[in-house]
Chains A and B, each alone.
Chain A
Amino acid sequence: MSRLTSLPPGKPLRPGHLGAFNFRDMGGWHLLTNDWGRHLRLEAADFERFLSGGIKPEDPLWAALRQGGFLRDQMDFNDLASSYLRKNSFHWFAGPSLHMVVVTLRCNQKCLYCHSSVVDPSRTDTDMDLETAKRTVDFIFQTPNPTLCIEFQGGEPLLNWPVVKFITRYAQKKAEAARRRLIVALVSNFSLMSEERLDFLLDHHVSLCTSLDGPPELHDRNRPFLGGGEAQGKVVAWLERIQRRCQADSSRRAYLPGALMTTTRFSFPFAREIVDLYAGLGLEQIFIRPLSPIGYAKRVWSEIGYGPEEFVAFYERTLDTILELNRTGRSSLMERTALILLTKILKGEDPGFMDLRSPAGAVLGCLAYNYNGEIFVSDEGRMVDHEGDPIFRVGHVAENDWASVLDHPTTRACVTASVLENQPMCSQCAYKPYCGVEPVFHYETQRSVFGQTPSSPWCVSHMGLFDAIFRRLRDPGASAVFEEWLARDQCRWQENDPEPAGEPQGGGRAYAP
Chain B
Amino acid sequence: MRTKKAKAAGTPRARISRDGSVSFELSVKREGLEPILGAAYLLTDRAYASLDGDRARLAVTLRPKSPSCDLKALSEVFLRELETQKLRWAIAKNNLPVHEFVAEQAVLLANGRIPPPSPPAPAADDLSEEQRREIERLIAEVEEEIKALNQKKLLSDPNKIRASWEERQEAALGEPSPTQEERPPARALGGP
Interface presence of A410 (CB below 8 A): yes
Interface presence of A92 (CB below 8 A): yes
Distance between Cα atoms of A18 and B99 in the complex (Å)? 14
- 4 further A-B pairs in the complex, CB-CB below 8 A; given A15-B87, A78-B114: A2-B42, A16-B167, A84-B106, A428-B88
Give every chain B residue within 8 A of A75 (Cβ-Cβ).
98, 162
Give every chain A residue within 8 A of B144 (Cβ-Cβ).
none
Contact yes or no, B106 A2, CB < 8 A: no
Interface presence of B16 (CB below 8 A): no
Partner among A13, A35, A416 whose Cβ is within 8 Å of the Cβ of B87: A13
**Chain B residues in contact with chain A, CB under 8 A?**
38, 41-45, 77, 80-81, 83-84, 87-88, 90-92, 94-95, 98-99, 101-103, 105-106, 108-110, 114, 116-117, 161-162, 164-167, 189-192
Contact yes or no, B45 A454, CB < 8 A: yes
Interface presence of A72 (CB below 8 A): yes
Nearest CB in chain A: distance from B37 CB, A:
8
Interface presence of A79 (CB below 8 A): yes
Contact yes or no, A16 B164, CB < 8 A: yes
Give every chain B residue within 8 A of A92 (Cβ-Cβ).
110
Partner among A21, A36, A417 whose Cβ is within 8 Å of the Cβ of B91: A21
Partner among A2, A15, A18, A35 whose Cβ is within 8 Å of the Cβ of B77: A2
Number of residues from A at the complex interface, CB < 8 A: 49
Instruction: Enumerate A78-94 residues with CB–CB distance to B below 8 Å.
Output: 78-82, 84-85, 88, 91-92
Contact yes or no, A36 B84, CB < 8 A: no
A 60-90 to B, binary, CB cutoff 8 A, 1 in contact else 0:
0000000000001101111111101100100
A 1-38 to B, binary, CB cutoff 8 A, 1 in contact else 0:
11110110100010111111110000000000001100
Q: Binding site of A, secondary structure by majority: helix, strand, loop or mixed?
A: helix
Contact yes or no, A78 B44, CB < 8 A: no
Nearest CB in chain B: distance from A65 CB, A:
14
Q: Which residue of B is nearest A411, CB measured?
A: B190
Distance between Cα atoms of A91 and B111 in the complex (Å)? 12
Interface presence of A425 (CB below 8 A): yes
Partner among A3, A13, A391, A428 whose Cβ is within 8 Å of the Cβ of B192: A391
Partner among B41, B110, B165 whose Cβ is within 8 Å of the Cβ of A425: B41
Q: Binding site of B, secondary structure by majority: helix, strand, loop or mixed?
A: helix
Contact yes or no, B101 A77, CB < 8 A: yes
Distance between Cα atoms of A347 and B32 in the complex (Å)? 38
Partner among B42, B92, B164 whose Cβ is within 8 Å of the Cβ of A17: B164
Contact yes or no, B192 A1, CB < 8 A: no
Contact yes or no, A454 B44, CB < 8 A: yes
Give every chain B residue within 8 A of A413 (Cβ-Cβ).
189-191
**Chain A residues in contact with chain B, CB under 8 A?**
1-4, 6-7, 9, 13, 15-22, 35-36, 51, 72-73, 75-82, 84-85, 88, 91-92, 391, 409-410, 412-413, 416-417, 424-425, 427-428, 449, 452, 454-455
Nearest CB in chain A: distance from B119 CB, A:
11
Partner among B44, B92, B109, B191 whose Cβ is within 8 Å of the Cβ of A85: B109
Contact yes or no, A454 B116, CB < 8 A: no
Distance between Cα atoms of A72 and B42 in the complex (Å)? 27
Check A454/B91 contact, CB under 8 A, given A6-B81, A78-B114, A81-B109.
no
Give every chain A residue within 8 A of B83 (Cβ-Cβ).
6-7, 9
Contact yes or no, A79 B42, CB < 8 A: no
Nearest CB in chain B: distance from A379 CB, A:
19
Give every chain A residue within 8 A of B102 (Cβ-Cβ).
35-36, 77, 80-81, 84
Nearest CB in chain A: distance from B149 CB, A:
14
Partner among A6, A16, A85 whose Cβ is within 8 Å of the Cβ of B94: A16
Nearest CB in chain B: distance from A464 CB, A:
14
Nearest CB in chain B: distance from A86 CB, A:
9
Distance between Cα atoms of A36 and B114 in the complex (Å)? 18
Give every chain A residue within 8 A of B110 (Cβ-Cβ).
85, 91-92
Q: Which residue of A is nearest B93, CB measured?
A: A15
Distance between Cα atoms of A19 and B163 in the complex (Å)? 11
Contact yes or no, A425 B42, CB < 8 A: yes
Contact yes or no, B42 A78, CB < 8 A: no
Nearest CB in chain B: distance from A11 CB, A:
9
Q: Which residue of B is nearest A450, CB measured?
A: B189
Give every chain B residue within 8 A of A449 (Cβ-Cβ).
189
Contact yes or no, A81 B164, CB < 8 A: no
Contact yes or no, B44 A20, CB < 8 A: no
Contact yes or no, B41 A454, CB < 8 A: yes
Give every chain A residue within 8 A of B191 (Cβ-Cβ).
409-410, 413
Contact yes or no, A15 B90, CB < 8 A: yes
Contact yes or no, A455 B95, CB < 8 A: no
Contact yes or no, B41 A15, CB < 8 A: no
Contact yes or no, A424 B192, CB < 8 A: no
Give every chain A residue within 8 A of B190 (Cβ-Cβ).
409-410, 412-413, 416
